[in-house]
Amino acid sequence: MMVRLLWSVLLLCLTAHGDNVIWKRPGENVTFECCFTKCPSSIDGFPGMYLYHYSPVKEEVLFYHFHSDKESIQPRTRYLNRLMTKGSLRNHTITIQYLNTNDSGIYKCVYKDIDAEVVCNDYTLFISVTSFQATVLAHPPLRNMPLSPNEEHPPLLLITVATSAISIFLTTVVILLIIKMKHCNGKTTSGAPPEDVYEIMTKNRPQPVAAPE
């Protein structure tokens, strides 16, 4: 956090002495011109050009190499699918799309030979964020969140009430089933005779008297 603050102060100081100051908003595009006419010395025969980004660490944006009538432009990983280039090695433009706050900083076009380099163009880029944008960036909304309580998903209160009602209904059904089972078991027990009828009749039958001898 402290490094970011110091770097912001440094950028503000540089804006007081630089003409190539650019202000952009997140999501916009910025175009830098890398041209030999802005070089302090000749770059004739230089085969390559780098675009560097300082924020505050030095970061390579792309490498433009020209050799034997063949050119090669190699954007770095963080800038893949975000760069557009136009023109020749000695005079071309580089456009960075979909800017974000991490793109703020100083940009330099540096032409290089085997044992020499020349800084030809430099720019100071600020990505300004409004208070509302800062809040959204710090607390992004959940993906697929409904636009209103009546869209896509019912509100939380309705879900809570429905869940409670289902729980109460299931509990009542279980209790009624238990009471019914106990009632049926009670009827079966009380309706059964205490002893077998045949045994009762056998007990009450008079015993035969033995014949006299």
pLDDT confidence of residue 145: 44
Using an 8 Å Cβ cutoff, are 94 and 148 in contact?
Answer: no
Class of domain 2-138: mainly beta
pLDDT confidence of residue 147: 44
The DSSP bridge pattern shows strands 30-35 and 21-24 to be unpaired
Using an 8 Å Cβ cutoff, are 111 and 120 in contact?
Answer: yes
Determine the Cα–Cα distance for residues 76 and 163; give it in Å rounded to an integer.
53
pLDDT confidence of residue 142: 45
pLDDT confidence of residue 86: 94
Neighbour-count burial of 7, counting CB atoms closer than 10 A to its CB (0-12 exposed, 13-18 middle, 19+ buried): middle
pLDDT confidence of residue 21: 93
**Cβ-Cβ contacts under 8 Å for 101 (sequence gap 6 or more):** 26, 127, 129, 137
Neighbour-count burial of 50, counting CB atoms closer than 10 A to its CB (0-12 exposed, 13-18 middle, 19+ buried): middle
Using an 8 Å Cβ cutoff, are 56 and 105 in contact?
Answer: yes
Short-list 108, 149, 86, 91, CA closest to 20: 108
pLDDT confidence of residue 108: 96
pLDDT along the chain (213 residues), means of 10: 47 52 95 93 92 94 87 91 93 95 95 92 89 50 44 52 69 69 59 51 56 55
| Count of CB atoms situated within 10 Å of the CB of 196 | 9
